[in-house]
């Protein structure tokens, strides 16, 4: 038992700073996003030792990107990329109410913990981490509009079931992959949009994690722009979008 406690304490303390990921988005600036009204709330995620650093927590290995980890600010990132993809957005009332990003590496960390402990603990944690063994998904990036309660069994959820944070359905994600879960809730001229996206990737180093998060953010906002653009196309009275020539639909791209 002492060995178990010692390994978990050492892993938890040493991993605290390593789970943080500074997101620096290139070609993004605050002036480009001045048209966006920021109605987001302050960070509200449990502390490291209670959540992402606690192996007994359903939030173990799931890091919420704090406000301090974004440069520039989240509203600047959202407004700039949305405007780059859909220039007419700046002519309308855009209100951002949620922009949350989670890096979920729970299964990977469970395997690492089991390997470090060995014996029956390795069997136990490896079994917990094998929930999506054999799964392969060719969809590296998935978009869910108006996400609600999931019908997936709790055993297949990697994270806290129905928490609407950084959890995901293991049956939809390839084995051994990290996942970035992004939430975007905003409105354009009082038309509401709510998106949750999943980006799976295989980081080989700490810098790779930051790049993966940046790619996930950019593609998520591009997806939001595509939804707004689609509504422009369907709108006969043009309550959302430009009254001029129709803009080209954005294309997903990494940085």
Residue 160 phi, psi (nearest 5): -90, 120
* pLDDT value of position 10: 40
Instruction: Give the integer Cα–Cα distance in Å for 75 and 81.
Output: 10
SS3 labels along 149-179: CCCCCHHHEECCCCCCCCCEEHHHCCCCCEE
Specify whether the CB–CB gap between 168 and 179 falls below 8 A. yes
Tens place of pLDDT per residue across the chain (255 aa): 444 444 454 444 344 445 789 999 988 988 889 999 999 999 999 999 999 999 999 999 999 999 999 999 999 999 999 999 999 999 999 999 999 999 999 999 998 888 888 877 776 777 777 788 878 888 999 999 999 877 777 788 999 999 999 999 999 999 999 999 999 999 999 999 999 999 999 999 999 999 999 999 999 999 999 999 988 777 745 544 444 444 444 445 565
Structure tokens at 161: 């079931």
* pLDDT value of position 53: 93
Task: Give the containing element (helix H, strand E) for 84.
Answer: helix 74-85
Specify whether the CB–CB gap between 52 and 194 falls below 8 A. no
Among 86, 104, 97, which Cα is nearest to 221's? 86
Instruction: Give the integer Cα–Cα distance in Å for 157 and 168.
Output: 6
Pairing of strands 62-64, 157-158: unpaired
Bridge partners of residue 157, in order along the sequence = 169
Quote helix, strand, coil % in the chain, to nearest 5. 40, 20, 40
Q: 15 by DSSP, 3-state: which? A: helix
Each domain of the chain, given as residue ranges in start order, spans 24-46+64-103+135-234
* pLDDT value of position 173: 94
pTM score of the predicted model:
0.85
Q: 38 by DSSP, 3-state: which? A: strand
Specify whether the CB–CB gap between 80 and 94 falls below 8 A. no
Instruction: Give the integer Cα–Cα distance in Å for 48 and 61.
Output: 10
* pLDDT value of position 247: 42
Specify whether the CB–CB gap between 79 and 34 falls below 8 A. yes
* pLDDT value of position 117: 81
**207 burial via Cβ count (<10 Å: 0-12, 13-18, 19+):** exposed
Structure tokens at 22: 């500074």
**Could you tell me which residues come within 8 angstroms of residue 254 by beta carbon, excluding any fewer than 6 positions away?**
215, 218, 219
Enter the DSSP assignment of 52: T
């Amino acid at each position: 038992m002492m060995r178990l406690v010692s390994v978990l304490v050492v892993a938890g303390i040493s991993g605290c700073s390593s789970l943080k990921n500074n997101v620096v988005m290139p070609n993004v600036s605050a002036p480009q996003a001045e048209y966006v009204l920021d109605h987001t709330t302050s960070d509200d995620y449990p502390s490291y030792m209670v959540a992402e650093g606690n192996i007994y927590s359903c939030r173990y290995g799931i890091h919420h990107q704090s406000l301090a980890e974004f440069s520039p600010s989240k509203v600047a990132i959202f407004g700039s990329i949305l405007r780059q993809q859909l220039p007419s957005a700046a002519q309308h009332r855009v209100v951002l109410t949620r922009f949350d990003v989670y890096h979920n590496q729970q299964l990977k960390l469970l395997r690492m913990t089991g390997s470090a402990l060995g014996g029956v603990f390795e069997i136990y944690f490896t079994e917990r981490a094998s929930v999506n063994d054999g799964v392969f998904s060719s969809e590296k990036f998935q978009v869910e509009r108006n996400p609600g309660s999931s019908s997936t069994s709790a055993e297949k959820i990697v994270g806290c079931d129905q928490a609407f944070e950084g959890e995901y359905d293991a049956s939809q994600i390839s084995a051994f992959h990290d996942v970035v879960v992004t939430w975007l809730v905003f409105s354009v001229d009082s038309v509401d949009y709510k998106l949750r996206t999943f980006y799976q990737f295989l980081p080989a180093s700490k810098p790779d994690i930051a790049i993966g998060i940046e790619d996930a953010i950019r593609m998520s906002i591009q997806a939001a722009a595509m939804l707004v653009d689609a509504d422009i196309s369907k709108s006969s009275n043009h309550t959302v979008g430009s009254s001029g020539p129709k803009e080209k639909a954005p294309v997903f791209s990494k940085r």
